[in-house]
Amino acid sequence: MEPKNHSKRVLFGTPEDLPPPTDEVPCPDSVPQISSRVSDHFRSCVIVNLYKQCAKSLAGSWAVSDNVEVQELRTCGLSNYLFMANLKDHVPVQMDEPRKVFLRVYGEVLRSSVDSIVLDSVNFAILSEKRIGPRLYGVFPGGRIEEYIESRTLAFSELSIPNVIQAIARHMARIHGLNMPFCKQPTFMFKMSERFLAQLTGVRKPPCRPVPNLSSASLLALEREYIEDSDHTTNGCLPEVDFQTVQELAVRFRLLEEYEWLKDELQKRTENPFPVVFCHNDLQENNVLVLNDPKPTDIYEILPIDFEYAGYNYRGFDVGNHFNEWCFDYTYPESPYFAYDLDLYPSREQQAQFWTEYLAAFRTEKRPSMDSTNAYQELGLGDSNFDYSTIDFDKLWIESTYGSLYSHLFWAIWSLIQTQISSIRFRFDEYAAARMEAYYRQKALLFPKTSPQFAT
């Protein structure tokens, strides 16, 4: 795909056409990836605003901007932009004051849904209080301030290590045992999927970038940067994908038809429904912190993070989604900025190991939620003498494979929306294609007569 000619493009329109700026931290997705100079300038505007947010929420030594350093983390996720702030070495720390914090700035895919932002904020606050996630230091329009934890993220190559399988299974069971103050029906991901599909099919307005929340002077400065950047330096920038191409991909992948089929499959299981629990919904390696050095003992102390997509959902989605992530490596340094190998999907034996550890941890969980209690009793886990050799792993395989399908479909739909609104360096269009390749391959396992490929 060739980059478009932007030589006559106006980035934002005239300042009088735009609403006045608010206290919200500007969204980095406001600026398309067409000029490195413009993107860098916009990021500097975001950082200036983050100094103000630190002063408001943290106060104390943080109230003086000269005491603080803020930098963007280049290893951000696919939905948000991450920054780190710290007090300079010579600045003394006051009582109960952090020296270093994470700053999470929401991307447009989350900002575009008020429900998602509210749910995420409540989720994070509750999980922080329960010490299941990092401490919450503050919230601000467009993001939040989180505890900085000395750690590293789990590596893609570590997902299949037996002790890692066990650790993740235990933590997932703990999350699934939570009783959270939200709707206990599995509607959260359905609603998000249907909103995105309505945009892709033309029922709703197509996705578009947010209006930059900057002053007129800042906007004019950005326009000058763009005009003066006659070569339109695009190092690290990606060509834009037009919306017509995205809609054609949605038709080619049969996203709407497959979504309607899968939703019907999940909902018609009235006699033997899949359990519904509070799910993380995005438990991949970059959302798992490793808190220790596992080399001496092979024991992994981990902490799940990033609960932006958490909510009540089918348990199989959370498990199947995690299994899917064994196949996708997001650290690939060149375009499309991910690599995948579908043969790395966990074997039946590895899945059984996960489920065994999960069920053992779930049995000892003292606070099962209303819906998870049904699963708890159905599996006989209330009996301390329960014989784990009687677990029906074939039944659990079906549950997680349906969840795997739902996961692939959701992230494919989500990725096509991201092509229109995200400035993160990632080929979301190619990622959607990879997800749907995996989807049809998994579907063929459940239904052998299914074609293992989407239409070409």
* 116-157 pLDDT per residue, tens: 788 888 999 999 988 889 999 999 999 999 999 999 999 999
The whole-number pLDDT of residue 380 equals 41
Do residues 400 and 353 make contact, with C-beta atoms less than 8 angstroms apart? no
> Coil, strand, or helix at residue 397?
helix
The mean per-residue pLDDT over the stretch 170-181 comes to 95
pLDDT confidence of 370, banded at 50, 70, 90? very low
Domain range 34-148, CATH class: alpha beta
The whole-number pLDDT of residue 382 equals 44
| CATH T-level assignment (fold) for domain 151-456 | Aminoglycoside 3'-phosphotransferase; Chain: A, domain 2 (3.90.1200)
Domain locations in the chain as residue ranges: 34-148, 151-456
Assess whether pLDDT exceeds 50 at residue 341: yes
Dihedral angle, C-alpha 329, 148, 117, 59, nearest 10 °: -160
Do residues 453 and 438 make contact, with C-beta atoms less than 8 angstroms apart? no
Assess whether pLDDT exceeds 80 at residue 456: no
Q: Which two tokens stand for residue 449?
A: 């007569």
* 413-446 pLDDT per residue, tens: 999 999 999 999 999 999 999 999 999 999 999 9
Give 349: exposed, middle or buried? Use CB within 10 Å, 0-12, 13-18, 19+.
exposed
Q: Which of 155-169, 322-336, 354-368 has the lowest mean pLDDT?
A: 354-368
What does the mean pLDDT of the chain come to? Answer: 88
Query: Which DSSP string do the residues of 182-202 spell out, in sequence order?
Result: S--STTHHHHHHHHHHHHHTT
pLDDT confidence of 374, banded at 50, 70, 90? very low
* 276-292 pLDDT per residue, tens: 999 999 999 999 999 99
Cα 76 to chain center, whole Å?
11
Assess whether pLDDT exceeds 50 at residue 7: no
Residue written as tokens 């010579």?
Answer: 90
pLDDT confidence of 219, banded at 50, 70, 90? confident
Angle made by CA atoms 364, 122, 178, in degrees to the nearest 5 = 10
Alpha-carbon gap, residue 310 to 321, rounded angstroms: 13
